Homo-oligomer: A and B are copies of this chain.
């Protein structure tokens, strides 16, 4: 993503605009761009033609016609490359290959561990060493590798994709480096046998693939640079990610919609289905070609009986699984967040772990693998099974508790792992569930690329299996009363449990579909749906989803969902939550007003009104724009200009020739010295250094970072010059170059006077980007509608107007507050019934974060440094 900076910046700017704001500069840029494209198109066709001619001359004797034909075909193909479906096929193909290769490598890694462990069976200690060292090395390598190459690759990536699809540009997240780091890091992490998943990272990898492919394809045509198209393609890519990971195209599409979108364009539906189906198809075909499978079937095929899958009277048991999974899911999310916060809060631990970045992963891995060591504690929790093997055995359609029916099954070897000679299978299952539960919650906080879906899925299956085995033990001949004996199928319960728990953790219903596609059987549809819905109902009223929780931990911009049926939302109006004290600038204001507004306000954009009396809203201007206006007005170039003019006037009288050699270096030094002299009376220092704090390095809203304003971070202010320092952040280098013929000989007093003079001039908005159509609401728009509009259009603020007059502003913050229930209106306390419990869960983090968050909210408009400093927000990612 390096390269031609200015173009990219303009493009990035465009990317944040959800509904066509228009800026003069951008308009000019777009026209130039269009001209450039046209020209290059002509040039290309010209070069094509000349190439054709070359070929003709070269092979005159030989089959020239054939050659021309080939060239024509090539041209046709290149023109076709622009079509969406080609892109989607390529994406699907690529992702299927990646998925298959990753799976293959993981399988090899796991086999290697088994082989080492098996080979050393003479000595338990050596066995232990081999069992423990192998994952520690792999995880440490994975953590180190991602840390060095691209720290953005850490965690699942779904929260970031959700943020990106909401319209925020997290640019570092879609680079080639990240792709490499994510793929290799993920392979190593999963190869270690830790309870980690590949589904979240695959969503991210697919998005990376789409972004890179789109960049690659843009070599052939212009449309790949379009922002709307990219967003659509990213949405499709998320579906591909899940689809090729589980060979579940339908579930993949639905899951990705539920997890990443708030509003979904149905016209994108086919893209997701098309790409995900193709990808899943190729993924499974590779398995067939590799002779792993005879034909295309499901990944975890089950063989439950079709004629009588379950009895009506078993439904209460399924409902119990659903409700318990709901609580379990909420607990998992809570535990995960608790661990992150604990590590982060304990300053001592934190400092130690931060210093040795790889220590934390190594320690966690050591702990987990020690506990699963098969001859040790692992024997009581089927420790020697890999995740995949556990899942296969859990979905087995025999009953473990009573050994009655033995069917033709070849998983007996693995199934034995669950049966300890001394210990009941129920104990094994309970231990497995409990241990894996906290292990997974802990493991997903390791800073490697990893997801939590698969571990949760396995735990859910184990829980379902536990309930199923209990039922089977309770009703050995089944529940059905009419003659025929239909024994209970514990595997069916495992399917239900898996769907319910993973649904509860992710707050999705589509895990039901994923489960059907994974097992290749849909006969348990009603129990699964009932359990998933109940689990969702419980989990959603207790905790945010795992991904939303991470979004909050990472402090990515978000908008909470409107909960289940909190109908108070319909009664709150915008007028109840809007900020009435809007910062605005008038069309005919002077620079002093601009300065005052910038000092007192903190909003990212400012309203431009016709006049203070009429308050007619004309548009909005970004803070950065105003800053650059002020910097132009008060900047060194203008001052030098002024000095030059003064000098010219002087020269007429004194005819003094100024030194033509530029003294930039010394000038700048003197300037800095002068600044340092005046440090004492610094009155603005609390404002400025905070604004420059590298608060969210990974997060970039490029519409703001039009021009990185690199203010020196050392405090060197002066009440007069502070101004200049604040707004003239980027010294205009061109200005410096051609203004080298004058010497900045003004004293501080002179400068202050000159600045005062400059401040009284009227603002010239001609070179300023104005958004002429900021989003407007009216006082009586309901909270519900406002939420809809904000999430639809990806807004972060909207003005409230009354017949053209500006009367207030609503930003994401107000909306968030209102939804999360701190606004009381018309006697209705806007608080979801179960929110109190939920708050007690999150309050610790919220309070801790408030201070930082506030600053972040206030100053996110200021520039953010380009380079990514790995802050604490990254390695706790999941």
**Residues on A facing B (Cβ under 8 Å):** 19-22, 26-27, 30, 34, 82-85, 223, 226, 228-229, 249-250, 254, 257-258, 261-267, 269-270, 273-274, 277, 280-281, 284-285, 288, 294-298, 301, 303, 306-312, 480, 482, 509, 512-513, 516-517, 520-523, 525-526, 529-530, 533, 536-537, 561-562, 564-565, 567, 570-571, 574, 610, 616-619, 770, 772-773, 776-782, 784-786, 788-789, 792-793, 801-805, 826
Minimum Cβ distance to chain B for residue A576 (Å): 12
Given contacts A264-B266, A297-B309, A298-B523, 7 further A-B contacts (CB under 8 A): A20-B780, A26-B780, A250-B512, A254-B254, A270-B533, A306-B520, A619-B803
Minimum Cβ distance to chain B for residue A36 (Å): 14
Residues of B within 8 A of A779 (CB): 22, 27
- Which residue, of A249, A571, A770, A780, has the highest number of chain B Cβ atoms within 10 A? A780
Given known contacts A267-B262, A277-B530, A512-B250, A228 and B570 CB-to-CB distance under 8 angstroms: yes
Residues of B within 8 A of A309 (CB): 295, 297
Residues of B within 8 A of A22 (CB): 778-781, 802
What are 20 A-B contacts with C-beta separation under 8 Å? Answer: A22-B780, A34-B826, A226-B570, A226-B782, A228-B782, A229-B570, A250-B512, A250-B525, A263-B792, A264-B265, A274-B533, A281-B530, A288-B312, A295-B311, A521-B521, A616-B804, A619-B803, A772-B776, A772-B805, A789-B793
**Bound: A223/B261 CA distance, A:** 27
Given known contacts A20-B780, A517-B522, A263 and B262 CB-to-CB distance under 8 angstroms: no
Q: Are A509 and B273 neighbours in the complex by a CB distance under 8 Å?
A: yes
Question: Nearest chain-B residue to A533 (Cβ)?
Answer: B274
Residues of B within 8 A of A308 (CB): 294-295, 297
Residues of B within 8 A of A530 (CB): 277, 281
Q: Are A772 and B801 neighbours in the complex by a CB distance under 8 Å?
A: yes
Residues of B within 8 A of A280 (CB): 526
Which residue in B306, B516, B777, B805 is a CB contact (below 8 Å) of A303? Answer: B306
Given known contacts A20-B785, A84-B565, A533 and B266 CB-to-CB distance under 8 angstroms: no
**Bound: A296/B306 CA distance, A:** 11
Q: Are A513 and B228 neighbours in the complex by a CB distance under 8 Å?
A: no
**Bound: A526/B277 CA distance, A:** 7
Minimum Cβ distance to chain B for residue A367 (Å): 38
Residues of B within 8 A of A562 (CB): 267
Minimum Cβ distance to chain B for residue A314 (Å): 9
Which residue in B228, B301, B529, B571 is a CB contact (below 8 Å) of A784? Answer: B228
Question: Nearest chain-B residue to A258 (Cβ)?
Answer: B266
Given known contacts A533-B277, A570-B226, A618-B803, A785 and B19 CB-to-CB distance under 8 angstroms: yes
Copies in the complex: 2
**Bound: A523/B299 CA distance, A:** 11
Which residue in B27, B269, B517, B610 is a CB contact (below 8 Å) of A509? Answer: B269
Which residue in B263, B303, B789 is a CB contact (below 8 Å) of A266? Answer: B263
Given known contacts A22-B778, A482-B294, A792-B263, A250 and B513 CB-to-CB distance under 8 angstroms: yes
Residues of B within 8 A of A792 (CB): 263, 792-793
Q: Are A778 and B784 neighbours in the complex by a CB distance under 8 Å?
A: no
**Bound: A228/B562 CA distance, A:** 13
Given known contacts A273-B533, A308-B294, A781 and B618 CB-to-CB distance under 8 angstroms: no
Which residue in B295, B805, B826 is a CB contact (below 8 Å) of A310? Answer: B295
Minimum Cβ distance to chain B for residue A226 (Å): 5
Minimum Cβ distance to chain B for residue A846 (Å): 23
- Which residue, of A288, A523, A574, has the highest number of chain B Cβ atoms within 10 A? A523
Q: Are A523 and B297 neighbours in the complex by a CB distance under 8 Å?
A: yes
Residues of B within 8 A of A85 (CB): 537, 564-565
Which residue in B263, B301, B521, B778 is a CB contact (below 8 Å) of A264? Answer: B263
**Bound: A513/B258 CA distance, A:** 17
Q: Are B512 and A772 neighbours in the complex by a CB distance under 8 Å?
A: no
Q: Are B525 and A804 neighbours in the complex by a CB distance under 8 Å?
A: no
Residues of B within 8 A of A311 (CB): 295
Residues of B within 8 A of A565 (CB): 83-85
Residues of B within 8 A of A20 (CB): 574, 777-778, 780-782, 785-786, 789
Given known contacts A517-B525, A788-B265, A773 and B782 CB-to-CB distance under 8 angstroms: no
Residues of B within 8 A of A262 (CB): 265-267
Question: Nearest chain-B residue to A482 (Cβ)?
Answer: B294
- Which residue, of A21, A257, A570, A778, has the highest number of chain B Cβ atoms within 10 A? A778
**Bound: A423/B410 CA distance, A:** 47
**Bound: A140/B465 CA distance, A:** 56
Residues of B within 8 A of A525 (CB): 249-250, 298, 517, 520
Q: Are A223 and B789 neighbours in the complex by a CB distance under 8 Å?
A: no
Which residue in B270, B296, B529 is a CB contact (below 8 Å) of A312? Answer: B296
Which residue in B249, B295, B570, B616 is a CB contact (below 8 Å) of A223? Answer: B570
**Bound: A516/B248 CA distance, A:** 14
Given known contacts A522-B516, A565-B84, A574-B20, A529 and B267 CB-to-CB distance under 8 angstroms: no
Q: Are B773 and A529 neighbours in the complex by a CB distance under 8 Å?
A: no
**Bound: A269/B273 CA distance, A:** 18
